[in-house]
Amino acid sequence: MATTDHIPNAELTRIGRALPFWASLILVPLAWLAAIKGGWYIALLPLATWHLFTVLDAVLGRYTENADPETVTAELFWYRAITLIWTPIQVVTIFGILFYVSRSGHLHPAEEWLLFAALGIASGTIGINYAHELLHQKPKLERWLGDMLLAMVLYSHFRSEHLLVHHRHVGTPRDPVTARYNEGFHRYFPRVLRQCPPSAFRAEKAMLARKGLPWHHLSNPLWRYAALQLGFLALASVIGGPWGLFLFLTQAFWAVFQLELVNYVEHYGLTRKYLGDGKYDHVQPRHSWNAAHKASNWLLINLQRHSDHHYKPDRRFPLLQTYDEDTAPQLPYGYPIMTLAALIPPLWRRIMNPRVKAWRRQYYPEIEDWSPYIQATTPMPRGAS
């Protein structure tokens, strides 16, 4: 009989604390069940991500405990492990299911489309979120695993845009990903799809220029991104032919849709104060919406502690801090509910616009004219470059 007598109590404690963050693994058997059974079983994937964890948030409430931010990486093994194993798990799951449905023929084409749309919600909710955690780390293995996850949804430029543009310019007109006040998601989504790839290209080109290299130099990561994406597209075509490629593209689209829906929520209406001469005040916890809801933070590995992530981008997810309303603006619900509300613009504005106005009064009472900040197109404030 197996025993844990040989495991130190401190290690058992670390395992116990990390275990809830492994909640994403429930999606793997559900994905295969949906592929085998079809029909209403396909609905289990979205139900098990947003809806189940919405209920759990209501039952379990919030958690406000903060880990010691100086905790050494060696003590975070069981937290890091889920992000390290997810990449091969996602590869096997998506392409394994693609192989299975392509060969079995037991599902109607409409069911296959719905299945891969549901898989996309999972790869967007979990896969891209884990990629986000990995790409912020220094070890090359973690960054490579993050690159693979992003390539699997054909959104590799996210790494460059996120690290070189979003974190530097969040809350300013220079950041395409910061949702403008009164900008509905239906306008935001096509805008970021249009603006983010060129933004990533310009950022990498500028990085190479500072080294005296042309944009097309082989050290430009955009070449690696393209190679990985083409590789996954080729694999999908080999496995399932044109229809398999279409299903893979379906998965990728809904993953990106889910990502940008979360991005929309994270910074909606929040802006850094313009100081003149093209400068803005420093990024603080108040420039991201914070949510301390327990269950959805388990599923999203503390992504909802987004205020601290932007304040201290190098912190690994178990060390991210949460803040009270005096330090960071608070979402009324976790991302599962807030992303659904974002799909209904009148409801979203009713929930969020009063909170944005209260945030302005709290943090920037000296600003009387918000017109340069609030337009959906958000022109640069006068004097900015």
Instruction: Return d(Cα 215, Cα 371) in angstroms, integer.
Output: 37
Query: Which of 322, 316, 309, 230 is CA-nearest to residue 262?
Result: 309
Q: For position 289, what pLDDT does the model report?
A: 97
pLDDT values of the chain reduced to their tens digit, one per residue, 385 residues: 445 556 677 778 888 899 999 999 999 999 999 999 999 999 999 988 878 999 999 999 998 899 999 999 989 999 999 999 999 999 999 999 999 999 998 999 999 999 999 999 889 999 999 999 999 999 999 999 999 999 999 999 999 999 999 999 999 999 999 999 999 999 999 999 999 999 999 999 999 999 999 999 999 999 999 999 999 999 999 999 999 999 999 999 999 999 999 999 999 999 999 988 888 999 999 999 999 999 999 999 999 999 999 999 999 999 999 999 999 999 999 999 999 999 999 999 999 999 999 999 999 999 988 877 764 434 444 433 3
Q: For position 51, what pLDDT does the model report?
A: 85
CA 112, 118, 123, 124 dihedral sign is positive
Q: Which two tokens stand for residue 313?
A: 């981008």
Q: Does residue 2 belong to any structural domain of this protein?
A: no
CB-CB contact of 180 with 189 (8 Å): no
Q: Does residue 138 belong to any structural domain of this protein?
A: yes
Number of domains in the chain: 1
Q: Does residue 9 belong to any structural domain of this protein?
A: no
Q: Does residue 16 belong to any structural domain of this protein?
A: no
Q: Which two tokens stand for residue 167?
A: 């974190």
Instruction: Return d(Cα 134, Cα 140) in angstroms, integer.
Output: 9
Task: Tell me whether residue 385 is exposed, middle or buried, using C-beta atoms within 10 angstroms of its C-beta: 0 to 12, 13 to 18, 19 or more.
Answer: exposed
Instruction: Return d(Cα 178, Cα 280) in angstroms, integer.
Output: 15
Q: Does residue 18 belong to any structural domain of this protein?
A: no
Q: Does residue 3 belong to any structural domain of this protein?
A: no
Which whole-number Å values give the CA distances from 298 to 24, 57, 123, 307, 326, in the listed order? 9, 10, 16, 17, 24
Q: Does residue 380 belong to any structural domain of this protein?
A: no
Q: Does residue 269 belong to any structural domain of this protein?
A: yes
Q: Give the other-Cβ count within 10 Å of 201's Cβ.
A: 16
Instruction: Return d(Cα 270, Cα 253) in angstroms, integer.
Output: 27
The 3-class secondary structure across the chain, one letter per residue, is CCCCCCCCHHHHHHHHHHHHHHHHHHHHHHHHHHHHHCHHHHHHHHHHHHHHHHHHHHHHCECCCCCCCCCCHHHHHHHHHHHHHHHHHHHHHHHHHHHHHHHHCCCCHHHHHHHHHHHHHHHHHHHHHHHHHHHCCCCHHHHHHHHHHHHCCCCCHHHHHHHHHHHHHCCCCCCCCCCCCCCCHHHHHHHHHHHHHHHHHHHHHHHHHHCCCCCCCCCCHHHHHHHHHHHHHHHHHHHHHHHHHHHHHHHHHHHHHHHHHHHHHHHCCCCCCEEECCEECCCCHHHCCECCEHHHHHHCCCCCCHHHHHHCCCCCHHHCCCCCCCCCCECCCCHHHHHHHHCCHHHHHHHHHHHHHHHHHHHCCCCCCCHHHHCCCCCCCCCCC
Q: Which domain holds residue 366?
A: 23-374
Q: For position 380, what pLDDT does the model report?
A: 41
